[in-house]
Chain A
């Protein structure tokens, strides 16, 4: 496997805040790689550095073998980006937005026309090509932006929160597009998301990032398997009592979060009655009990001790300072 991106000790500080903290990893050619983490974890900052929009404080990275510090224009030519915030000209038509992009990347007129036609067909916007973007829905705009990002045939496509703010149906639709793209065009896709489900569905590998650090990196399957099987969540007014009572060899791991005790074990459905019996014998009260297959959400919880939502609440304050710093 050839390496598409090589990231080494990449760090970015904004005054006191370390937004990205010494991260190193490789992304292989043709992968859909996910940067997963709560808002403010450093995903967008990482993407900005890799796309040469932001200079790293220290560390280095190569994209398609080109160093981001030495030849930023070379990097820019070989990548496509779909930003988190919309970046279309709403006063122009879909075709004109594409055409503008094609001219900026100096694609010759004939080829430009063909590619725009092909890509607008791909994202099913060809019939709306002469409509002003202002009249487009959020999902259509996103699709147009993805099409635009592919116009100059990038080897690497960055998608920053590609489905943020879209309804579930559109999101599903978009996921199919992205998966098809990676398969048919063979390009490397790097996407950031704070939707665990998105990473799970799309990505061949994910890096979980929190507070600017990579805390886990692997395929979604292996990350979930790492939790040790199925998860049983037992809610109780006495969580420490639950944890103490469940001390059996078939329990792989047990963690306490607030009122919940989450135990991992293989074939959980066979053991539910045993768990209930054990807790009843010890006179530990049970509020509720549930079994589920582990998701990336559980992986995140197990690595950080917090759910992604709790983590985001924590980040709000940090984000405020961060945004203030970004302005300077």
Chain B
């Protein structure tokens, strides 16, 4: 545990010091929320969802900020590789599993903080958290998204030598996962052929889980959401740990 804590601590210190990163990664979901939310609020009519698009969008943006921050935190292992710091960690008499879990804990924590900031800002534009229990349900889902996607980022980083492939991963993996997650639109309003793809996207269950917690309504049963995103977290952690073990310096 002490090793995991050590790595986590380092991540926290770096996070707190990188003001530009904090602001940078809040701004994107915030702008989405403001532009899409206010822009489409009057045009979009949501069936069975109270008709308020902004409130529908908020859980999606919280999930988005958690997911993007966590993938990015995971991928930062590449920086450590390039700047040599990873060597210092790998040559210490500690197991790689501990290092990986520490990195995951650190990434997930920063991601949840980022999501939480969006959540707090959302209170000013119309979010009314349904209940304390609901808030904690949303938090659990944020944590699960954070852990799974940090592990996902670490898995990718373990296979990459430098940041050149990062843009590719961003555009062809991360963005589709986000776009197909039902963060921006209700699943039921899509053409039938897209629905199965959306149901294959693990983030869908994270978004729906947060939505259930924050607004009290979701299109997928929250228990199913929890089971799927929980399983995804487990699989990603195992995959990340496996690939991280095989990093050669």
Residues of A within 8 A of B (CB): 51-53, 73-74, 76-77, 81, 83, 85-92, 96, 100-101, 103-106, 148, 327
Contact = CB atoms under 8 A, between A and B. Distances in A.
Contacts of A83: 84, 87-88
Contact of B13 (A74, A81, A96, A105): A96
A148 B87 CA distance: 13
A77 B94 CA distance: 9
A105 B93 contact: yes
A291 B6 CA distance: 58
Interface in B1-38: 2-3, 5-6, 9-10, 13-14, 17-18
A104 B93 CA distance: 8
B249 interface: yes
Contact of B91 (A53, A86, A96): A53
A87 B93 contact: no
A104 B83 contact: no
Interface residues of B, number: 23
B85 interface: yes
A86 B92 contact: no
Interface of B: 2-3, 5-6, 9-10, 13-14, 17-18, 83-85, 87-94, 161, 249
Contact of B89 (A81, A90, A92, A104): A104
Contact of A106 (B2, B83, B89): B2
Given A76-B92, A91-B14, A100-B9, 16 more contacts: A52-B91, A81-B91, A86-B84, A87-B84, A89-B10, A89-B14, A92-B14, A96-B13, A100-B6, A103-B2, A104-B3, A104-B89, A104-B92, A105-B93, A106-B3, A327-B161
Given A83-B87, A103-B2, A76 B18 contact: no
Contacts of B85: 87-89
27 contacts: A53-B87, A53-B249, A73-B93, A81-B91, A83-B87, A85-B84, A85-B87, A86-B83, A87-B88, A88-B84, A88-B85, A89-B10, A89-B85, A90-B83, A96-B13, A101-B88, A103-B5, A103-B6, A104-B6, A104-B92, A104-B94, A105-B92, A105-B93, A106-B2, A106-B3, A148-B88, A327-B161
Nearest to A91: B14
Residue of A76, A88, A100, A105 ringed by the most chain B CB atoms within 10 A: A100
A327 B92 CA distance: 22
Interface pairs A-B: 8 shortest CB-CB:
A87-B84, A103-B6, A104-B92, A76-B93, A87-B88, A77-B93, A73-B93, A85-B84
